[in-house]
Structure 1
């Protein structure tokens, strides 16, 4: 039976989607590699000289989790995948790595917000409990979406790779809890910035920069984009933006942590007294006392 013109159009669309995904994933790998090289000295100084704490473990998982995800996505893009079940399994594995990295990145941002509020016990418990619920809900919905989706490959010779296409609303729903959580963090940080502005009569923009409001805003923007893109473009498009969010949030969270750790080290080496924990606005300064006072529930 001769393939119809409609079938030809579908195959061309799938081929373009796979080509688009491969290009986007190469950009992601390049971007992550460039960022890692730029921070290589600072990163290894931190890894070798800092004490082992729970926050350091979060840092390592958030930082290096995307590596495994990116390796698998490159394999999915460039290796022949005629076995659809194998393709689905690999997609589930790389989604798992991505979700773990994303959860650790958000955990760092959440602890950062708690530090802004002077580690208020109620704020800390509320934020971390909410993060746990959001992570569990989003992960469950995400894997429900993958299991109920169909796997797309190209029948055109020379076109490799595969991706999942969703015909339901589960992908959309799985991103909503994360967006709501990020909006909560932005709101708490913004409220604290406004309070500081009124108390110290400072410049609101400068205070917002010190509070890293724009890091939080970047996460909100990426999550909102991931919700809107599936409504406007093809299935392959939204998969690339999801991967991009994981990589960028990991970079932002770990860069923020590195900045505060090195600031703390410079302050200590200069002999200046560290009077306020809020000077760095980040939990997990590498001492047992600091970790105990900030992370202990």
Structure 2
């Protein structure tokens, strides 16, 4: 039996999704196994607060996200409604994961600017307005979308039979927001680099810039994939961005905590840093 070019292209995209989701699950499992000792040290020795709760959600939410994606990729599902439901659940978990990862660095930027409430209000106002627009566009383009499966035997998974050109807008907004936070961090670094040279401050500054740069580049990549590639490729790369940024955020959080534990041996420096902004980051 011969299949059309569209059927073959869709089948290849579904196979690509299966490979990438499997690789992402292996990567997340490997990262968790490598950091297990450090993570349990942090969980057992650190104080319980909002940041620690945020850490737990960001750390273990990818587990649910990957299970959903793997189930959707490996199950031969002929029910378009169920397929769409799984895709919407995955999209919702992905956006929640992105929000949790971003909260770490919004609070860090707030701390770097000496707890400036006006700046925090501006950041949160921009963030929630961009988030509301992104959720609205995502819901509009995915909830009512039609899903289908490949007619080629042995190809599992499902995909949207048609996509909207508006799907790139959330990543455009996300890239603009990350660029703004990066500029704020760089301005603060220029202003206070000579006055505050503690190791904890340097680590925090480097973490922020690296995270914002990664998030910006991922978002730009997803803008192009949303416009140029098929739905399956776009969905996979979106999930890859959310998972990678979550791993980066939690690993940086543990590293920052370890740096503070090391500096606590030098009482004077640790006290100065904590008195300035540490309580707001941790």
TM-score by length of structure 2 reads 0.89
Q: d(CA) in 1 for partners of 2:176 and 2:35? A: 31
In the alignment, which residue of structure 2 is the partner of 1:274?
A: 271
Matches within 5 A, 1:1-297: 8-197=4-193, 210=206, 212-269=208-265, 271-272=267-268, 273-277=270-274, 283-285=280-282
Shift of the 282–67 alpha-carbon distance from structure 1 to 2, 3 Å rule, reads farther
**232-241 vs 181-190, greater mean Cα deviation:** 232-241
Shift of 1:92: 0.8
Shift of 1:234: 2.2
Shift of the 282–145 alpha-carbon distance from structure 1 to 2, 3 Å rule, reads farther
SS in 2 for 1:155: coil
Shift of 1:252: 1.2
Shift of the 200–106 alpha-carbon distance from structure 1 to 2, 3 Å rule, reads closer
**209-218 vs 48-57, greater mean Cα deviation:** 209-218
Number of aligned positions between the proteins: 278
Shift of the 167–32 alpha-carbon distance from structure 1 to 2, 3 Å rule, reads same
Q: d(CA) in 1 for partners of 2:211 and 2:279? A: 14
CA contact (8 A) 1:175 1:223 kept: yes
SS in 2 for 1:152: strand
SS in 2 for 1:59: helix
TM-score by length of structure 1 reads 0.85
Q: d(CA) in 2 for partners of 1:51 and 1:207? A: 21
**84-93 vs 160-169, greater mean Cα deviation:** 160-169
In the alignment, which residue of structure 2 is the partner of 1:292?
A: none
Shift of 1:269: 4.8
Shift of the 166–253 alpha-carbon distance from structure 1 to 2, 3 Å rule, reads farther
Structure 2: 5+ residue runs without aligned partners?
Answer: none
Structure 1: 5+ residue runs without aligned partners?
Answer: 286-297
Shift of 1:139: 1.7
- Cα distance per residue 1:96-152 (max 9 Å; x no partner): 111111101011111111111121111122212322222222122112110243313
RMSD: 2.5
Shift of 1:46: 1.4
